[in-house]
Structure 1
C-alpha cells in the first residue's frame, strides 16, 4: 500500500519532492522519484512506499522491468504468486519476491488485458518507453484512489488530490461538485472538487499517448446488473462454494512480510473474516475494535464475545471525545476534498491505534452490499408497498402526516411525496429534503442511476447493485482508504474479492434474504465457526454520536462554525432554509446532524484547502 504520483509537466526536483512529502503518510518507508527523458519530453514518476511484501530495497519504486517498463503501483495483487508461476513458465524471469514485478511481466504478456488476470486492489501506471505511452488502471470496486489532471496535452496523476493541487495555478473549485457533495456527502466519480481534476472510475483502465497528449479510458469490468448469470445449484451447494471462495479470499489477504490483524466490530461480516482468518493462520490472530461511551453506539461487548470464542488476541480502542475532536480539526489534510461520512472519525481512531501493533488489517467491508444487509433494504420489502397506492392518495397522506410531532412519521411523510420506488430510494441515500441546496441542477441524477432504474432484477437486487456502484465505491472505500492511510496502515477487504461480488450477484435473492433474515447465506457460513446466539440482536452501524453531541457538548461549536457570516461564504446553499434546519436539530424536532456535519466539513475544506481559488 502506497502513494503514487506522476506527471508530464516540467516541475523542479524540489517541487516533486514537496508533492511526495504532502502525502508521505501513505508510505513512510521510502520516498522515491525518477525522471525519464525521451527526446523533448520528461516523464516524472514518484512513490511513497509502505513496505508490505518483499521489504528489500530492490522492490522500491519507481520500479523498472526489462529496461523499458517503468511502474508506480499502489495496492496488492493477491494472486501474484499464481501469476508468477504462470509467467515463469512462459519464460519471464524475476529478481524480487514482490507483486510489482509480476504486474510488469503481466503487462508485457497480456497488454491492456493484464487487468483481467489480476485479483486485488490497485491503482497503477506503467510507462512503456517503446510505445511512448502510459497505461494505467484502477481496481474493479474502487478500493484504491486515482486522481488525474489532463489539459489536452499534459497529464498528471496521484493517489491523492493534494499532490496535483500543489504548484497548479489553473484549478478552480467546482460549484457543481459542491452541489453533488451536499446531496451525497462526497464528490462522486468521475468528478473531483476541482473542475480540472477527475477520478478514474472503478473498474476502468486508460492509455495516454505521450507524443499526442491523447487520453482514453474504458471500462474493463462491471457487475452483472442485467441478471444474465444465474446460480442453478441448491442452497447447500451455494454455501459450500461461498465458503471455498471466502477461504481463499481471506488466506490470500493474510499473506504479508509484516504483522497482520483483523478489524472486529462484532457484526456478521467482520466476525466471519476473523473466524476464517483464525482458521487459516498458524498464530493467534490479533483483532481490534472500538468502544463508545454511548451504549446505543457501542458493540465492543459483542466483539469481545466473538474474540473470546475464536481465542484471538483482542484489543479494544476507546473512542475518546478529545482525540476525536483533534481529528476533526485535521480531517481535510487526509481526505483532500469534502467528505461527510462521520464514521470516518472512529475509523481513523481505529486505524491509528491498530497501527501500533500491525501494518495490515483485514476488514468486513462489502458484506452488506453484496448480501443485502443494510437496514434500509427492509424498506424494499415492506414500506415500498406504499408505492402501489396512487400518487394522489400518497400526497394527501403526506400532507396529514407532516403535522404529526413524531420524527419518523415526518420522514415517512416526506418519502410519500416521491413519485416511485426508485426515486424514493435515491431520497433515502441523499436525504429526503434537498431544498437547502440553491441550484437548478438535479444532483440525484448520476450516471449510476442505470443500476437502479431498470426492470432486469427485483428491487432488492437493484438497490444492492446501486449501492455497490455508489455508496460502497464513493463513500466506504474512500473512508477506509484515507482513514487507514492517514496512519500508514493497509486495509484489506476479503468480501470485496470480485469473485465473491460476482457470486453474490448470481445467487437467488432468497439465498441472501429470507423474510427478515438478511445476509442469510453469509450468516450460515459464519455459524460454522461462531454460535448463532451471539448475533441475535439488531444491526448497528459504525457511527459516532454526533446527533447528541451537536445538541449538547458541541452546540456552541456548531453555532459558531455555522454562524450567519460563515453561511454566507458557503456556495450553493439557501441560507434561510439551512438556518431553519439547524434550529430543528437544536430543538429536537428533527435529526439534522448529517446536514450540519456536511456544512462544517465543507466550510473547513474551503478555509484550509481552497483559499484564494475561484469557484466556478
Structure 2
C-alpha cells in the first residue's frame, strides 16, 4: 500500500545516505494479478530494493483460519481478513530470510483520514473526531493485527507513522487541512511527499485499497472466497439463533458466526475482548470491505 511504500522508500533513501552495506528488503503478498502485488513491484523497481513476493490463494488463507484467530485473540471480521495476509507474509520472512525487525505503514489511515468513508464525513470536525476515535482503538483492531501476526513468527514490528511526535503534530493541524480534498483521501500526507520523487506519482496518488482486498484480484476478493467456504460451514438456523447463542456482540453474518464460533472454542467466556465490530461510518454499510461501498472506485490500472 501507499503507506508501506513511503516507509520503504524513506528507508532506502536513508540507507543510501548512510552508505549502509545491507540491502533494504521489501515484501509483498498477493495473487499474481492482485493490485498490491502490481503496485509493490513498481515501487520496488523504482527505489531499487531487494524485493520478495509471497503468493497467496484463498485456499491457503482458509487453511490458517483457526491459527490466525488463536494468535489474534479477536473475532472482528475485517481484522481477521487482513490478518491472514500479514500472518502468511510474516511466516515467509521468518522462514526464508534473516530479517527480524520489519517496518510497516500501520496507522496512517487512521491518523491522516485514509479510509474511503472519510469522503462522507459531515464536517471537518466530525472527521477529526473519527480520526481520534480510530487512533484510540488501534489496540483493538489494526495494531492488534500487526502486532500479533508478526509476533507469532518472532518478528519485531516498527510503525513510523505512529511515532508519538508525528501523531501529535499531525493532530495539532487545523481540521480543515486534514480532510480528503478533490476526491482524494489522505490528501495532506500525499501532498507532503509530492515532488520528492521517493515513489512513482501514480502510486503516491493511488486510491485507498484495503489490505484484505488488495492482496486478491478485483474480480474476486479474498473475503468472497472465504464467505463461499463458510456457506457450507454455518447453516441458516444457526445464524437465526446467533443472538441467543452469542448474546454479547452477536454476529449478523455467517462469516461473523464462523469466526465467533472458533474464538469461543479457543477462548471461552472472553468475548468482551472484542467490544464491537469495526465498520465504516456515515454510510449505509453491511460489510466492512471498502469494495462493497457505493463510493468505492477501483484504480484505473486495475
Q: What TM-score does the superposition give when structure 1 sets the normalisation length? A: 0.38
- The change in CA–CA distance for 1:511 and 1:284 in structure 2 (over 3 A counts) is farther
Aligned equivalent of 2:89: 350
Higher share of residues assigned helix: 2
Aligned equivalent of 1:213: none
Q: What is the total number of aligned residue pairs between the two structures?
A: 251
- The change in CA–CA distance for 1:299 and 1:597 in structure 2 (over 3 A counts) is same
In 1, Cα distance between equivalents of 2:84 and 2:4: 19
Aligned equivalent of 1:273: 7
In 2, Cα distance between equivalents of 1:565 and 1:376: 32
Task: Indicate whether 1:608 and 2:266 are aligned.
Answer: yes
Q: Is the 8 A contact 2:113 2:185 kept in 1?
A: yes
Aligned equivalent of 2:130: 463
Task: Indicate whether 1:370 and 2:39 are aligned.
Answer: no
The SS at the match of 2:90 is: helix
Task: Indicate whether 1:312 and 2:46 are aligned.
Answer: no
The SS at the match of 1:361 is: strand
CA deviations on 1:425-457 (whole Å, 9 max, x unpaired) are xxxxxxxxxxxxxxxxxxxxxxxxxxxxxxxx7
The Cα of 1:478 is off from its aligned counterpart by: 0.7
The Cα of 1:564 is off from its aligned counterpart by: 2.9
Aligned equivalent of 2:277: none
The SS at the match of 1:560 is: coil
The Cα of 1:565 is off from its aligned counterpart by: 5.2
Equivalent of 1:540 in 209, 213, 218: 209
Aligned equivalent of 1:292: 31
In 2, Cα distance between equivalents of 1:367 and 1:327: 27
In 1, Cα distance between equivalents of 2:240 and 2:148: 27
4+ runs deviating over 6 angstroms: 613-616
The SS at the match of 1:516 is: coil
In 2, Cα distance between equivalents of 1:497 and 1:310: 24
- The change in CA–CA distance for 1:525 and 1:310 in structure 2 (over 3 A counts) is farther
Choose 1 or 2 for highest CA Rg: 1
The SS at the match of 1:364 is: coil
The Cα of 1:316 is off from its aligned counterpart by: 0.9
Matches within 5 A, 1:533-612: 533-544=202-213, 545-550=221-226, 552=228, 554=229, 557-562=230-235, 564=237, 568=241, 570-572=245-247, 578=252, 595-610=253-268
CA deviations on 1:533-582 (whole Å, 9 max, x unpaired) are 33343221101534421564x1xx4333345358657322899x95xxxx
Task: Indicate whether 1:483 and 2:152 are aligned.
Answer: no
Matches within 5 A, 1:192-341: 265=1, 267=2, 269-281=3-15, 282=20, 283-292=22-31, 295=33, 298-340=35-77, 341=79
Higher share of residues assigned strand: 1
In 2, Cα distance between equivalents of 1:519 and 1:379: 14
Matches within 5 A, 1:68-87: none
Q: Is the 8 A contact 1:284 1:311 kept in 2?
A: no
The SS at the match of 1:474 is: coil
- The change in CA–CA distance for 1:275 and 1:511 in structure 2 (over 3 A counts) is farther
The SS at the match of 2:59 is: helix
In 2, Cα distance between equivalents of 1:374 and 1:603: 29
Aligned equivalent of 2:199: 530
The Cα of 1:460 is off from its aligned counterpart by: 1.9
CA RMSD of aligned residues (A): 2.9
In 2, Cα distance between equivalents of 1:466 and 1:536: 25
- Unaligned segments of structure 2, at least 5 residues: 214-220, 273-302
The Cα of 1:598 is off from its aligned counterpart by: 2.0
In 1, Cα distance between equivalents of 2:92 and 2:271: 38
Q: Is the 8 A contact 2:185 2:207 kept in 1?
A: no
Q: Is the 8 A contact 1:562 1:600 kept in 2?
A: no
Equivalent of 2:182 in 505, 510, 515: 515
- The change in CA–CA distance for 1:361 and 1:500 in structure 2 (over 3 A counts) is same
In 1, Cα distance between equivalents of 2:70 and 2:155: 17
